[in-house]
Every structure is written in structure tokens, then in C-alpha cells.
Amino acid sequence: MAGILAWFWNERFWLPHNVTWADLKSTEEATFPQAEDLYLAFPLAFCIFMVRLLFERFVAKPCAIALNIQANGPQIAQPNAILEKVFTAITKHPDEKRLEGLSKQLDWDVRSIQRWFRQRCNQEKPSTLRKFCESMWRFSFSLYVFTYGVRFLKKTPWLWNTRHCWYNYPYQPLTTDLHYYYILELSFYWSLMFSQFTDIKRKDFGIMFLHHLVAIFLISFSYVNNMARVGTLVLCLHDSADVLLEAAKMANYAKFQKICDLLFVMFAMVFITTRLGIFPLWVLNTTLFESWEIVGPYPSWWVFNLLLLLIQGLNCFWSYLIVKIACKAISKGKVSKDDRSDIESSSDEEDSEPPGKNPHTATTTNGTSGTNGYLLTGSCSVDD
């Protein structure tokens, strides 16, 4: 075990040339990041999760009720033993051949059978009330941590000149504000990591799981080798759009359509500007080029930048989804759903119609219009 630990904490990997772990031991004169500090994130993540449960029950739920958001879930499919057996044992999405066979067996038209499967899939989906509560919690926490980050960073020299991220590196003392900000962000991502398995399931579960893993690893990694200054820039920049996204989702659930659309436009502008403009031109520029010039590369420097480039790849993916939704909204005037949406998987048909041979052809958008399809998705942050 001692050999493994010695290999893992090899100074020549983690630290610049001629720097040792002994040089970064905290003293009475200066405090430096210590790897054991990261253990604080686990009890704090549990506390954040418990605060979330209390917040959603005693704050978010009363707010939702005051906004007339009901706890009613999707419409229940009428009981049918044959279709239930197909749904549970064979497929949730029958092909055309199977639909035709079921149509003859039940004497139902194909569209009614499709509607039944759609309603059956929607039965297990969360209510609007639950989604509102989740979004309100994320909005509140994101607003707090982003506000704290801005207030902290505006007093630091590296916000105004990123070269200060590398001057005297790695002998940069750890301040109380920086330590709190870093551990709070790490704890939040750990809480998301665990709660993701109980939260509303979305189609981009795998992408978000990867995002949380990379974020946790990146925060922990940059803390251990004292790249915390540039890490605060990454965190604050990626938190900036999350507040608008969650606010837009809450407006959508409350059916404040004009506010929802306005907030989505603001979110899209902030997201694309920060993730595809400021992040590569400001943050990646300092981590790749200014740090090379002032400190020089070493093994963990390469790993850190590779992780940042992976984050940038995720940013490009989510920006593509945002642009895709925006283009659909412009060309069609409405968007009912998006590739990562947790919206019910129904088409535009009204699901309240009973099965029969001649269903009505009237359509509706399930209460979604404008940009709502996107706004029902999960958070895009390194959240983000």
C-alpha cells in the first residue's frame, strides 16, 4: 500500500520541477491546499442533500402550489392485459408489424394502440410539481454560489489579469474564501452525483454522469496541485448560465410563457458566449499558453488541460442542442420537444381520447410551445 501511495503522489507528476510536497505544507505563516481537505466534501454533500429535501418540501412546494402548479402526473393508460404484457415483457415501442397485429387482435385502430403505449410510458414520469421543486432548488443554489463567486473574484487580481494565476505558482497561499468556494462547489457536485440516480431521469443521463465525474475530478485535481486560482474562474464562468436555465424552467412549469421565452433567449446568449467565447479565449488561453510561458509544462499540467478540453467538448455538444432548438423555434414557431428533454414522449396528439377505430385528428402541444422543449431538460452547467 505504501508503494502504491508513493507512486500515486509522485511529486514529479503533480508538481513543477524542483517543487516537493514538503514545500507546500501549511505553516503558521501560510496555508496551502492539502489533499485531506477534500474529505470535507463528503459530509458537506450529505448536508446539501438534506437541505435540498427540506427546501423542496417547505419552500419550493408551497411556492409551486401558490402558482397553481398541480401534483397531477401524466394521464393513466386504461387497463389492458394484452398491451400491458407486450409493454412489460416484449417492447415499449412496438414496430409497425406488431402494431398491426395488436390492432387486429384487439379490434383497435393503430393510432389508439400507439396512444396507449405513449400514455403507458408517460405514467412513470414525474409530475410538474416535482420538476418545479427540483428546478427551484437548483436555481436557488446556483444563484447563491454564483453570487458568492462573483463577490469573491472581483476582489482578486487574477480576475482582472489571468497571469496572476501563475505568478509565484505553486507557492500561492490558500485563503479562507477560496477554500470555502472550492469545497462548496465540490460538495455540490458530489451531491448531484448521488442524487442523479433518484432525480428526474433524462435522455442525457450518461452525458451528465460523465460531466459530473469530470467536474469532480477537475476540482479535486486542481485543488491538490494548487491550481485553485484558475479553477475559480472555470467554476464561476460555468455557473453563470445555470441560474437563467433553471429560472426559465420554473417559468415554463408555471405557464408564464413570455417570461419563459425571454429567459431562454437570455440563457442561450449567456451560455454560448461564456462557453464558446470567453472560456476558450480567456481560460484556456491562460491554462495553455500563459502557464506554459510562466511556469512551464509538467505531467499534471497536461492532465489538467486535457480535462478542460473535455469540458469544452461537452460545452460544444450542449451549444449544438441549444442552437438546434432555437432554429426549430424560428422555422416552425414552436418546439414541442428536444433530444435531451424529460417532456412526455407523446406526439402532438391529445392523449385524452379513448381508444377507437376513428380517433379525432385534433392536435395540441401538451402545453408546450416556444422554447419549452429545451427548458424541460437538465442543467447544462460544469453545473455545470
Q: What is the pLDDT of residue 87?
A: 84
Q: What is the pLDDT of residue 343?
A: 36
Q: Which amino acid is at 79?
A: P
Task: Please give the Cα distance from 188 to 140 (Å, whole number).
Answer: 13
Question: pTM of the prediction?
Answer: 0.79
The alpha carbon torsion through 172, 178, 182, 183 (nearest 10 deg) reads: 110
List, in sequence order, every beta strand (DSSP E) within 76-139: none
Those residues of the chain that have pLDDT short of 50 are 334-384
CB 269 within 8 A of CB 277: no
- For the four alpha carbons of 69, 70, 72 and 75, in that order, the dihedral sign comes to negative
Angle between helices 41-55 and 176-195 (to 10 degrees): 60
CB 376 within 8 A of CB 200: no
In the chain, what are the domain boundaries?
32-66+127-330, 81-124
Q: Which residue has the cell 402532438?
A: 348
Q: What is the pLDDT of residue 333?
A: 58
Q: Specify whether domain 81-124 bears CATH 3.40.605.10.
A: no
* Rounded alpha-carbon distances, angstroms, from residue 272 to 132, 159, 283, 316: 25, 20, 15, 9
Give me the DSSP letters along 331-342. HHS-----TT--
